Structure 1
Amino acid sequence: MSDKLPQPPQNEEVDLGQLFNAIGKLFEKLFRFIGSIFKGIFSAIIYAIQPVVKHFKLTVSAMVIAAILGFILQKSKDPVYYSEMVVKPNFDSKYQLAKNIDYFNALIGSENLIELSNIFDIDTLSAKELVSFDLDVGPETQNDLFVEYDEYVMSIDTSLVDELSYVEYIKNRDLLSSRLFAIKAKSYKRDIFSNLEEGFRKTFENDFAKHQKKVRDTMAAIEREILKKQLARLDSIQKTYIEVKIKESEKGDLSLNLGNTMPLQEEKSETKEYELFQKEQEIGRVLTELEQEIAEENTYYDVLSGFDRVGIKDNSIKQRYMFLFPLLILGLFIFYFLVVKAFNYIKNYE
């Protein structure tokens, strides 16, 4: 016998070598491609800011002038104040709320002061001071989102649960998916905000919301009547059952079971009585939950936090022209030089 171990075929060594070379070339191309992407991004950034560096003095001078003009305009313009109101719409009145916010902004843009004064019960001079209304999602905690997702899962077919995870559910939520909404009002007048809540009351008490509430109340009244009848029927059965037990005990007509210390018939009676008690407790719990739901949502909307009596000065970037104008000038410079370079490239292209 030969003492030499079996050697792998020569062609297998060649195939493995070619495979490793192919994998190495593939990774090399991949890293080269990723590097070219970062290089392209870096080149684009340098290409964009290159005109600013070449014309540094001109750019800085223009930005300084823009900052001075922005400062003058900022000081000469009346300050804008804002206040927020957090509400919880009921009976799907949130859809009318979103629509009316756009309508209010359109009235402000067209300076329809008469309609604004009629909606918010303010004079036209105060209506002229309104700047805008914004609608955003109200304050939400992570626990609130978990509860909302759990209720959503319970309301859909179980076969669809795996197709929409919690992360996907949160990602696909839009503004109207929220339960709480923050209404931000902006005005040149600092103490106008507390007078605006009346206009939003009219928004929530719309015809559709009134119809939804009427349907809810009707169905709740029917369900309440059914539950009360069931409770009355159970109470009657319990009284009849107790009377039967009393009569049986007076007659002494109780059957004994030698295998047990308690009579068999009495044991069954206690079991039925307990079942009736459990059923009564269940119906009472359902009735209590129904009454609680009606009590919690008995208005068209709930105000969690109303408008402040005095607004807060708006110091956002949109109102700080001293910083906004230089940034705008810088962006215009970069855009202008890029357009000029692109035009020259197309003009000289062969």
Structure 2
Amino acid sequence: MSENLPNNNTTEEVDLGVLFNAIGNFFNKIFDFIGGVFKAIFSSIIFLIKAVIENFKLISIVVLVALLVGFGLEKTKTPAYYSEMLVKPYFNSKYQLVSNIDYYNSLLESKNYESLTSIFDISVDEVKTINKFEIDIGPETENQLIQEYDKYAKSIDSIRAQEITFEDFVENRDLYSSDVFNIRVESSKRDIFKNLSTGFNTTFNNEYSKKLMRVRDSTIAIKKATYLKDLRKIDSLQLVYLKILNQESEKGTLSIGVQGLLPLTQERTKTQEYELFKNEIAIRDSIRSLDELKITESVYYDVITDFSDIGLRSNELTQKYSLIFPILAILIMFLIYVSIKVIKFAKEYEG
């Protein structure tokens, strides 16, 4: 058996050698791959630099021409102005608001200016100056988002709520998740925006919202009647307790102690004036909350900030032709250069 030991050692040494060689080859391939990637990036950069150097004069002329054309188009194009209005809808009128904004844009695209004239009560010429309507979520603080997240987490299953983080909640919110909306109107006429404010009244007045307001008012009336009925009962009980106390204070109720060992004591009827007083305060607070709700939400929407009298100049990137045209010119020249190189390589390639 001792004669077989050297053979086993030799076999183990061979296996270890093969393993180390495999590991070494694996790392060599990784380093070669990383080196190839860096080499390809470096070659691409050199390729671009070489193309720019070889065609520097042509590139300069084309970029300069594109810059002048874009700058000239910016100066000759009619400027665009915008104004924004923050609104807070009630009774789920936000759904009608979003739908109507899309409807207004479709009227502009189809050039149905007469319909917009009747909606906003402005002239056809003024309607033609409107470029587009936009709506987005209004400004929200992080504290407001946290409160909405807590409210949402309490409304779903506790196990499901643990799987949804605050970041997931904020990321997956859509336009209808907000209670405040920012309406933006863009026009080539600078002083048209104030005239559009009254036209948005019809946006919120829909049958569904009117129905919700009627249901809300009826519910408030029923609750208030119930609270007033409870208050009358409390008043009656308070009068009864007061009558009992007056009677006891006038007559007094005396009793002798147990087997005459204790002195004479006066027992009074137990009443619950304090508990009635607390209930009365709670009921009156509830009535006040109902009255405040009916006052604060007596309309279909509130205007937080209205359209300004004079619009601001729109400086959107899509209107920066002096920047867009040179970039497009460079991209087109790059595609042409690459295409020429590819065609030339294909013609000279022999396989």
Q: For 2:26 and 2:245, how far apart are their aligned partners in 1?
A: 89
- Counterpart position of 1:134: 134
- Counterpart position of 1:4: none
Q: For 2:33 and 2:283, how far apart are their aligned partners in 1?
A: 69
Q: Check the 8 A contact 2:83/2:186 in 1, yes or no.
A: yes
- Deviation of the 1:257 alpha carbon: 8.3
SS in structure 1 of the partner of residue 86 of structure 2? strand
- Counterpart position of 2:95: 95
Q: For 2:310 and 2:223, how far apart are their aligned partners in 1?
A: 47
SS in structure 2 of the partner of residue 162 of structure 1? helix
Q: Which of 296-305 and 333-342 deviates more?
A: 333-342
Q: For 2:151 and 2:263, how far apart are their aligned partners in 1?
A: 49
Quote the sequence identity (%). 42
- Counterpart position of 1:219: 219
- Deviation of the 1:131 alpha carbon: 0.7
SS in structure 2 of the partner of residue 298 of structure 1? coil
- Deviation of the 1:311 alpha carbon: 0.7
- Counterpart position of 1:124: 124
CA 36–275 in structure 1, closer or farther in 2 if over 3 Å, else same: farther
- Deviation of the 1:244 alpha carbon: 2.5
Q: Which of 164-173 and 256-265 deviates more?
A: 256-265
Structure 2 alignment gaps of length 5 or more: 1-8
Q: Check the 8 A contact 2:88/2:179 in 1, yes or no.
A: yes
AA of the residue aligned to 2:177: S
CA 79–25 in structure 1, closer or farther in 2 if over 3 Å, else same: same
Q: For 1:325 and 1:80, how far apart are their aligned partners in 2?
A: 19
- Deviation of the 1:127 alpha carbon: 0.6
CA 101–249 in structure 1, closer or farther in 2 if over 3 Å, else same: same
Q: For 1:32 and 1:235, how far apart are their aligned partners in 2?
A: 92
SS in structure 1 of the partner of residue 83 of structure 2? strand
- Deviation of the 1:192 alpha carbon: 0.3
- Counterpart position of 2:6: none
- Counterpart position of 1:67: 67
Q: For 2:212 and 2:23, how far apart are their aligned partners in 1?
A: 65
Q: For 1:218 and 1:39, how far apart are their aligned partners in 2?
A: 76
Q: Check the 8 A contact 1:48/1:338 in 2, yes or no.
A: no
Q: Check the 8 A contact 1:49/1:334 in 2, yes or no.
A: no
Deviations 1:287-337 (A, max 9, x none): 222222222211111101000011111122222211121122233334455
- Counterpart position of 1:315: 315
- Deviation of the 1:274 alpha carbon: 1.6
Q: Check the 8 A contact 1:68/1:322 in 2, yes or no.
A: yes
**TM-score, normalised via structure 1 length:** 0.80
**What root-mean-square deviation, in Å, do the aligned CA atoms of Structure 1 and Structure 2 show?**
3.8
Q: For 2:247 and 2:23, how far apart are their aligned partners in 1?
A: 94
Structure 1 alignment gaps of length 5 or more: 1-9
CA 127–161 in structure 1, closer or farther in 2 if over 3 Å, else same: same
Equivalenced residue count is 333
Q: Check the 8 A contact 1:52/1:334 in 2, yes or no.
A: no
Q: For 2:21 and 2:115, how far apart are their aligned partners in 1?
A: 77
Q: Check the 8 A contact 1:248/1:254 in 2, yes or no.
A: no
| Structural mapping, 1:146-157, within 5 Å | 146-157=146-157
| Structural mapping, 1:1-350, within 5 Å | 55-253=55-253, 265-266=268-269, 268-269=270-271, 272-337=272-337
Q: For 1:212 and 1:100, how far apart are their aligned partners in 2?
A: 19
Q: Check the 8 A contact 1:70/1:323 in 2, yes or no.
A: yes
- Deviation of the 1:91 alpha carbon: 1.0
Q: Which of 163-172 and 39-48 deviates more?
A: 39-48
Q: Give the structure with higher Rg (CA).
A: 2
CA 336–88 in structure 1, closer or farther in 2 if over 3 Å, else same: farther
SS in structure 2 of the partner of residue 161 of structure 1? helix
Q: Check the 8 A contact 1:85/1:305 in 2, yes or no.
A: yes
